[in-house]
Amino acid sequence: MAIIATQHLMRTYGKGAARFTALHDVDLQIEAGEALAIVGKSGSGKSTLLHLLALLDQPTAGTVVLNGQDTHQLKTRQLNTLRSATFGFVFQQFFLNSKDTVYDNVVLPLKIAGAVGKARRERGLAALREVGLLDKAKNKATDLSGGQKQRVCIARALVNRPKIIFADEPTGNLDSVTGQMIEDLLFKLNREHGITLIIVTHDPDLAAKCDRQLQIRDGQLVGGERDKIA
C-alpha cells in the first residue's frame, strides 16, 4: 500500500480575476521507503505540492491519503497530531531558534508532542548522535556552520521517529562538499531506517540519486514518473 496517495489534488490561490491554479488534478502514489525527488522549474508548483503532501496546507479540491487514511475530513488538531507523529521536516532556511541550544532545538518536537524527562533526553541525544553532533549539544544553534545547522535540523526531524522526511531544497544554502554530506545523511536514514524521503530540489544530481523523480510543469505531473533505472 502506498504511504501517500493523492486523488485529484488541486490548489488555487487568490480570488476572482486574480485566481491562479498552481496545481491541477494531481494523482500520485508514493511507496513506503522510497526516495522521491520532486523537480521542475521555478514556479511550477513543487512547494505547493510538498506543502499539501505534508498536510501543511489544505487543497482546494481533491485529497491526500496517508497510510490509507483520507485526511480530507480531519480537523486542524487531528492534522497537527498526525503531522508531528508521522513527518519530519528539513528546509533550506533551517528555521532554528538561534538563541536556544542545539539540544533544545532538537527536542522541540518532543516538547510539543508532550514527551518529558528521561524519554525526551534520550531521544534528543540519540538523534544528535545519529547526525554526529553530540558534542555540540550545549552550543547555541547560531554558533554552527551551515552544514552543522542542517544536521541539527535533520536531528530535529528525526526525533519523533518519522515515517517520512520532507526536505525542501535541503542543500540549497550549502556549498557542494557540505551539501554532499547532508545528502549522504538523508540517504543513510532512508536506507538504514526505511524513512521515506520526499525532496524538492533544483539540483539534478541530487534528484538522480533518488529512486524516482516526479517532474512538475505548470502545476501538472509530466509524463508520469521517470524511474531511476530506466
CA atoms of 83 and 186, how far apart (whole Å): 19
What is the nearest approach in angstroms of ligand ATP to the Cβ of residue 161? 28
Which of 13, 132 has the CB closer to ligand ATP?
A: 13
Count other Cβ atoms within 10 Å, centred on residue 155.
Answer: 28
CA atoms of 79 and 53, how far apart (whole Å): 12
- 59 binds ligand ATP, rule: CB under 6 A: no
Q: State which of residues 28, 34, 45, 128 lies at the interface with ligand ATP (CB under 6 A).
A: 45
- 76 binds ligand ATP, rule: CB under 6 A: no
- 214 binds ligand ATP, rule: CB under 6 A: no
Please state the length of the chain: 230
Matching residue, cell 541539527: 152
What is the nearest approach in angstroms of ligand ATP to the Cβ of residue 205? 17
- Judged by DSSP in three states, 191 sits in helix
Matching residue, cell 545528502: 183
CA atoms of 86 and 81, how far apart (whole Å): 9
By CB under 6 A, the residues from 99 to 158 that bind ligand ATP are: none
- 217 binds ligand ATP, rule: CB under 6 A: no
For residue 112 the three cell numbers come to: 510539543
Which of 194, 204 has the CB closer to ligand ATP?
A: 204
By CB under 6 A, the residues from 83 to 102 that bind ligand ATP are: none
Query: What residues make contact with ligand ATP under the rule CB under 6 A?
Result: 13-14, 20, 22, 40, 42-48
